[in-house]
Every structure is written in C-alpha cells, then in structure tokens.
Amino acid sequence: MEIEEIQSQRDYIEHCKRVHSYSEAVQRILDLSESYIPDAEKAYKEGKKKAIWASGYGWEVPLIYASGITPVAFSEMGRLSDKETMQIAEDYYQFPVETCSMVKCTVGQWHLRREATTFKRILGNSSACEPYNLAWEIMKQKGYDVYNTDVTYRGPTVEGKRLEELVEFFVKEIYDVTEWLTGVRKVDEDKLRIEIQRKNRLLIKLKKVLELRRKHPFYVRSLATILMLNVGLNNYFGKPDEYEAAIDLLIEELENAPVNEKDLKNVIPLVWAGGTGQEFGIYEAIDQAGGALLGLRSVPFKLYREDIPPVESLARWVYDNAGAGAGVYARNVLEHEVDKLSARGLILYGYIGCSFASVDREMWRKYFHEKGIASINLEGSFQTGAPTGQVITRVKAFVEMLA
Amino acid sequence: MTKIVEVLDKKVSSTITNDKVIGIDIGSRTGKAVLFANGKLYTAITPTAVFTQQTADKLFKELLKKSGLQKSDIAYIVGTGYGRVALDFENIPHKIVTEISCHAMGAHALNANVRSIVDIGGQDSKAIRVDTRNGKVVEFIMNDKCAAGTGRFLEKVAQLLDLTTEELGEEALKATNPADISSQCVVFAESEVISLKAKGAKRADIAAGIHLATARRVKNLFNRIGLEPDLAFSGGVSNNAGMKKALEEVLGAKFADVKLNAIFAGALGGAVIAQKSIAAGRSEEEGEVATA
C-alpha cells in the first residue's frame, strides 16, 4: 500500500500490522493502541472500571492507577478521530483556525461525548498551554468535571533551595489532585509505591527494547515505535499487565531475531524530537526512505526514585526529566540520544498552531546545527488523514540528504 | 538532442557511462524528461495531465521517438517531482527520488561549482545547498505555506495584468519605478495589484514589484540556510527573465551560466542519479561476489 492511498489513522495502524506480520508482540501493541479508548469507555459503561480523561503521559499516571482509576489519554481520543471533530472546534466553539490542531481535535471529541454515557471527568495537567486551558474551561461549561493542576516549570538554572521549594509546591499539588480523584486528601502510599515500581520496571524494559533495536533497526518500524513508547509506556493503553506482557514478548523476539548486517550498514539513525501527532504517513515516509527512529525525546531517561516517599518521588521525577520546564532539559535528552546513536539527523516535529513548542524547536535546531547535526523542522496536523505531499517530500528529501 | 559533453560540467560528464537512462520530473504544472543515450542528451516537455502516469508515458514515448531507442533499451529510470508518487515503469528498473535531491544533482551536473540553488516551481519554492564534490543536498528549506513565492502566484498576477506568464517577466524588465508590494498572500496581493492599477501605476512597475516581493521571500529562505556562490536557478520559473533579475538584485549574487534550460534540472538530476544507481548496483554485486 502506498502512503498516499491511506486516508485515516486506523488505515495506517492496519498497514503497520501487515508490515509487522512477523511479530506477535507488535501486533499486540497495536491492538492495545486501537482498543485503548473504546475498551476503557465500555468498561466504564458496564461499571467494571473507573476512568478519567487525563493527559496520561507523566507523573499523574502512577497516581491515578494507585487511586483505582484508569487514566485515559484524551490525546489518543483525538488521534484516531476525523476531520469532523476539527470542524466542531472551529465552527461551534469558534476556535481560531491557527489554534493548535491537537487541542481542537480533542475539543471536538469531548463535544461529541457530552451527552453520551461515558466518563466526564478531565484532569488537566499544567496551565502552560493556553489552548488547552481554553478547552478545559469550555468543557466545564458543557458539564464536565475539570480539574487543572498548576504549572510546573523548572528554569534552566534552578537548583538547591529553589528546587526544593518547587518540589514542596508540587507535593501539595499531588495531594490536591488526589483529593479531586478520590474525595480524600490521602494517598495510598503502598499502592503508589507498587505503581512506581511498575513504571520503573517498564522504563528499564523499554530501554532494553531500544538497545536491542540498535541491532535490529527495522524490526519495529517508526509508527509502532512511537505508539509503543510515546503512548504505551506512558499510560499502558489502560491495560498495564497486557502492555507489559507485550513488551516482554517483544524483548524475547528481538533477542532471538537474527542480525541483518545489511540493515546495520544501510540504516540512517534518526532522533525524533516531538510528540506523536496524527500524520502517521510521516513515519511511513521515514521507513520507506531508509530511516529509522532509533532515538526519541521521550526515551526512558531517568527512573523514579524508590528510596524516598512515593509522592515526593513523583515530584522529583517531574523536575528531573525532559519535561521539567525549560527547553534545555529536553535538549539534554536529545543530545544524549544523538551522541549515543551517532545519529545523522534530528526530526523536530510539532503541531500546527503550537507557538509554545515552536520556540523550543527553533532553539534545538540552532543548537544541534552548531554541533553539525542536521535537522528538519516539521509542522504536522492532528486531525487529517494522509499527510500532504510537501511534508512527505520534506521527510524523504531529508533522509536522502543524510543517506 | 545535444552531446552530453557539451552540456554537462566536465567533472560530471566524465562519469556518464553508456547506460541508457531517463530522469522524469512530473511537476505540478509541467512534466519534463531527460534521456542519456550514446553520448547524447535528449529532452521532452509537456503540461502535466490529470493522471501523472499519462504524462510520464507521453514523455517516455517522445524520448524513444527522438532517440530511436526501444523500451527494452532503457536500463534505469528515476522519477521525481510532485507526480512521482504515482509513477510506475513496468519491467524497467526504477526508483523514486525527491525533486530536492534531483534538482541539486541536476544543478551540480550543469555546473559543479554550484553551492546554492533557488528552485521555484508551480507549487512551492525551495532554497537548496549543494555539496560541490558530489551534488548531494547539504541543507534545504521549502516554502509551501501559501502560494506566495511560487509559480502559481506569478500566474495569478499575470492574469490580473492581462499578461501571459511568459510576458510577465519581460514586462518587469521595462520597469522604471517598481511598485512596493507589501503583501505576500495571493489573495491580499490581488487586492494590492488592483489598488495599484486604480492609482495609475504602470503595468511594468507592478510586475517588477511582484517579482521583487517574491524574491524577498526567497531571500528569507536563504537567510535560514545561508547563501554561498555559485548560485543556480532551477524550476519552471527559472525561464522568467524578470524573476531572474529580481532575485539577482535581492540576493546580491549572479546566477551561474548553464548550457541547458534549467527547467530540465530536476529531470537531468534524475538521469544522473539513475546512472549512479546502476553503478551502485554493480559495485554491490561485485562486493557480494568478492565476499562469497
């Protein structure tokens, strides 16, 4: 199937399954991705699970699971949707066209669900994103129960006393969230500890997968890698045990797969600096051009500390990782990946209308350019089917340039 | 038809073998093709049809007719341009390469000292930096955010001024006081051109103003990736004399001389890459034999 023939994200996932017909583990991961939202909503409807909408990518995930609730990533709801949701945000809610496409898509989906039997609680995470703030305020008016944590931002040089104050502030935030989640201002520390251990276990396993991918660069292609790492590792697609079992199987498959020397000779190692997006054709274009996303901004970088109280561990993890605030923290991860892989290029990907992230991308571009690492800055959409010819041209030309 | 050695840079022409290869560049407005055969270079050009394979087939037939070759004589084809994605050449080894790589290789083949390329096509404009050692892309940037700075933009303006696209560039050369066009959006520029006409501005001055505005857009692309001479101009708009003058003025650099209409640069680059692909295949086979 040619990239241009594919018109929806679900088509891409089906295509990805066919490409990975040799891997039971990848099939399972893709199945988990596809069933994440529908299964969570079905289980909620049948009274089998409690669930909330959440960003579902950071510190809040262990906390939500520890509270007996399934975090359902609202970005995934938008990711597999269609153009109709975008039009709802623009026409019904009058979002300006230039507003972030990811937010508009999510708003459209919440709108469609406003009268359906599904969970109506949204945990917003960080007030740094103005379009999301707007979305959450609108959803409050539509009857959703919305809780938004305050911004967590560690400046480039924040250390020592100031850092301790930030941690203290954030610990309070975590208790506030717990109170909203469960009705009581008390964290079940034993359960949270178990969730932190699970997260660390999975972070280590994903590190192992990424290490093994260096020997088998094309075994897990780009889209499957992104879904496994950018989504699965964050929230386990709502099914932690099944996700972990799929990763265990993948490790086994990779360890037993024969090394193809020709692949190792031909591969063009790339680092992906961006979110997941929805233009899955970009990943296909990378694959078809001989590139492989071997390094990612979302690579499991640091573990949660297990030697301190679990709530404090969540807070310290936030300030010690790529998403701590200033762009330099994410850049450190990228640099680590570029150096580790001797990467030839960096793909900087963001969503149309996201001025917030575009500033970081520009700073990273300049920094890595000075280091002699080529990069390409892509703006992708979050709501449409196949990517535009120009985007594919850019990606392919970039990989050709590095070949 | 012309001799390869008379058109290509000596550095590149010396590497061209007897393999008969074709480069086909299906642009958004025009399809172009170049054939290397028996030391000669053949070209073909046609407007792009709705179905790009039809355009490619037409170009292919025309090249065979001009050269007297059979389909089975062709050893390799490289397809490029926006229509590349739908191309297929049954029973002939082929591959698809982006127009960015092909334009770089094409410009390099015409003048191996070229380090920077302006490529303005019907649909977008690009600034490309080239490695003089091998014609590979070093860095590139594309403007495709809107029609401004593209051939389509110039077509629209030509219509507003009751000129053909070809006449627009010539008209611009007659300007004595180029109009100041501030807008870079086709829609707003249209209003601006209408206002200028209403105020009695000369057609030549408006045409020159439009070309300068487009050139400034291209300059912004080079501000990002850097401009290093020699400079080449490729793509469909490269035949526009007014655009050439405006670009040289705004960029502060002269375009290098080439001996082939630069509209064929992408197809030419495709043909050179086709030759290289055959050579790479051979050396890989030899490597495998040696290893075995």
Task: Compute the mean pLDDT over every residue in chain B, rounded to the nearest whole number.
Answer: 89
Q: Is A394's CB within 8 Å of B86's CB?
A: no
Q: What is the mean pLDDT of residues A78-83?
A: 74
Q: Is A2's CB within 8 Å of B85's CB?
A: yes
Could you tell me where the beta strands, DSSP code E, fall in A61-148? 69-73, 121-124, 145-148
In DSSP terms, which residues pair with A217 in a beta bridge?
none
Q: What is the mean pLDDT of residues A220-236?
A: 92
* Residue A202 vs residues A195, A232, A233, A251: alpha-carbon distances, Å: 10, 10, 7, 12
The identity of residue B30, as a single letter, is T
Token pair 């501000």: residue: B223
* Cα distance between residue A207 and residue A212, in whole Å: 9
Q: What is the mean pLDDT of residues A333-359?
A: 87
Contacts of A390 in chain B (CB under 8 A): 123-124, 142, 144
Query: Could you tell me if A284 and A261 are in contact, meaning their C-beta atoms sit under 8 angstroms apart?
Result: no
- Looking at residue A122, what is its pLDDT? 97
Q: What is the mean pLDDT of residues A130-141?
A: 91
Q: Is A390's CB within 8 Å of B144's CB?
A: yes
Q: What is the mean pLDDT of residues A199-218?
A: 95
| Exposed e or buried b per residue across A373-394, where buried means at least 16 C-beta atoms within 10 angstroms of its C-beta | bbbbbbbbbbbbbbbebebbbb
A393 touches chain B (CB under 8 A): yes
Nearest CA in chain A to B225: A369
Contacts of B137 in chain A (CB under 8 A): 397, 400-401
Residue A368 reports pLDDT greater than 70: yes
Q: Nearest CA to A34 among A59, A14, A18?
A: A14
Residue in B124, B138, B140 closest to A390 by CB = B124
Query: Could you tell me if B87 and B102 are in contact, meaning their C-beta atoms sit under 8 angstroms apart?
Result: no
- Looking at residue A82, what is its pLDDT? 72
Phi, psi of B27 (to 5 degrees): -85, 175
Indicate the range of A103-107, A379-383, B4-8 predicted with least confidence. A379-383
A86 touches chain B (CB under 8 A): no
Phi, psi of A270 (to 5 degrees): -125, 155
Nearest Cα of chain B lies from the Cα of A347 at a distance, in angstroms, of: 14
What six digits make up the tokens of B73?
Answer: 């004589």
Residue B290 reports pLDDT greater than 60: no
Query: Could you tell me if B170 and B256 are in contact, meaning their C-beta atoms sit under 8 angstroms apart?
Result: no
- In this prediction, what percent of chain B has a pLDDT beyond 90? 61
In DSSP terms, which residues pair with B128 in a beta bridge?
B117, B140
Query: Could you tell me if B18 and B70 are in contact, meaning their C-beta atoms sit under 8 angstroms apart?
Result: no
* Cα distance between residue A349 and residue B106, in whole Å: 30
What six digits make up the tokens of B29?
Answer: 């407005």
**Burial grade of B284 (CB within 10 A; 0-12, 13-18, 19 or more):** exposed
> Count of A–B CB contacts within 8 Å?
38
Mutate one of B48, B51, B119, B137 to test the A interface: name it (highest A CB count within 10 A): B137
What six digits make up the tokens of B274?
Answer: 């086709």
Query: Could you tell me if B186 and B153 are in contact, meaning their C-beta atoms sit under 8 angstroms apart?
Result: yes
Q: Is B142's CB within 8 Å of A389's CB?
A: no
Indicate the range of A8-17, A79-88, B95-104, B226-235 predicted with least confidence. A79-88
What six digits make up the tokens of B37?
Answer: 């055969």
pLDDT-based confidence at residue B115 (cuts at 50, 70, 90): very high
Query: Could you tell me if A276 and A4 are in contact, meaning their C-beta atoms sit under 8 angstroms apart?
Result: no
Q: What is the mean pLDDT of residues B43-68?
A: 91
Query: Could you tell me if A244 and A236 are in contact, meaning their C-beta atoms sit under 8 angstroms apart?
Result: yes
Q: Nearest CA to B104 among B240, B255, B223, B262?
A: B262
Query: What would the DSSP string read from start to end of B260-274?
Result: S-GGGHHHHHHHHHH
- Looking at residue A69, what is its pLDDT? 97
pLDDT-based confidence at residue B185 (cuts at 50, 70, 90): low
Nearest Cα of chain B lies from the Cα of A396 at a distance, in angstroms, of: 7
ipTM of the complex: 0.78
pLDDT-based confidence at residue A397 (cuts at 50, 70, 90): very high
Nearest Cα of chain B lies from the Cα of A369 at a distance, in angstroms, of: 10
Nearest Cα of chain B lies from the Cα of A3 at a distance, in angstroms, of: 9
Q: How many CB atoms are closer than 10 A to CB B104?
A: 34
- In this prediction, what percent of chain A has a pLDDT beyond 90? 63
The larger pLDDT score, comparing residue B139 to residue B286, is at B139
- Looking at residue B266, what is its pLDDT? 96
Nearest CA in chain B to A400: B101
Q: How many CB atoms are closer than 10 A to CB A336?
A: 15
Q: Is A389's CB within 8 Å of B82's CB?
A: yes
Side by side, which strands form the sheet with A50-54?
A69-73, A50-54, A121-124, A145-148
What six digits make up the tokens of B24?
Answer: 């086909």
- Looking at residue A170, what is its pLDDT? 94
A400 touches chain B (CB under 8 A): yes
Q: Is A401's CB within 8 Å of B137's CB?
A: yes
Residue B204 reports pLDDT greater than 90: yes
Query: Could you tell me if B79 and B241 are in contact, meaning their C-beta atoms sit under 8 angstroms apart?
Result: no
Q: What is the mean pLDDT of residues B274-288?
A: 79
Nearest Cα of chain A lies from the Cα of B10 at a distance, in angstroms, of: 24
Contacts of B82 in chain A (CB under 8 A): 389, 393
- Looking at residue B147, what is its pLDDT? 63
**Burial grade of A342 (CB within 10 A; 0-12, 13-18, 19 or more):** exposed
Side by side, which strands form the sheet with B137-143?
B137-143, B125-130, B116-120, B231-234
pLDDT-based confidence at residue B146 (cuts at 50, 70, 90): low
Token pair 């050179």: residue: B272
The larger pLDDT score, comparing residue A383 to residue A357, is at A357
Query: Could you tell me if B102 and B25 are in contact, meaning their C-beta atoms sit under 8 angstroms apart?
Result: yes
Nearest CA in chain A to B95: A289
Residue B287 reports pLDDT greater than 80: no
pLDDT-based confidence at residue B148 (cuts at 50, 70, 90): low
Q: Is B144's CB within 8 Å of A400's CB?
A: no
Q: Nearest CA to A398 among B206, B100, B289?
A: B100
A290 touches chain B (CB under 8 A): no
Q: Is B85's CB within 8 Å of A396's CB?
A: no
- Looking at residue B145, what is its pLDDT? 63
Close Cβ partners of A31 (under 8 Å, ≥ 6 residues apart): none
Query: Could you tell me if A44 and A119 are in contact, meaning their C-beta atoms sit under 8 angstroms apart?
Result: yes
* Cα distance between residue B87 and residue B80, in whole Å: 9
Close Cβ partners of A148 (under 8 Å, ≥ 6 residues apart): A123, A124, A125, A127, A133, A136
Residue-range domains of chain B with CATH: 2-103+262-291 (3.30.420.40), 113-251 (3.30.420.40)
Residue in B100, B137, B139 closest to A393 by CB = B100
> What does the pLDDT look like over A240-297, one tens digit per residue?
999 999 999 999 999 999 999 999 988 999 999 988 877 788 888 888 888 899 998 8
* Cα distance between residue A360 and residue A383, in whole Å: 23
pLDDT-based confidence at residue B292 (cuts at 50, 70, 90): very low
> What does the pLDDT look like over A304-315, one tens digit per residue?
999 999 999 999
Residue-range domains of chain A with CATH: 3-35+154-402 (3.40.50.11900)
Task: Compute the mean pLDDT over every residue in chain A, rounded to the nearest whole number.
Answer: 90
Close Cβ partners of A75 (under 8 Å, ≥ 6 residues apart): A55, A56, A102, A106, A276
Residue in A3, A394, A400 closest to B142 by CB = A394
Contacts of A393 in chain B (CB under 8 A): 82, 98-100, 142
The larger pLDDT score, comparing residue A21 to residue A289, is at A21
In DSSP terms, which residues pair with B139 in a beta bridge?
B129
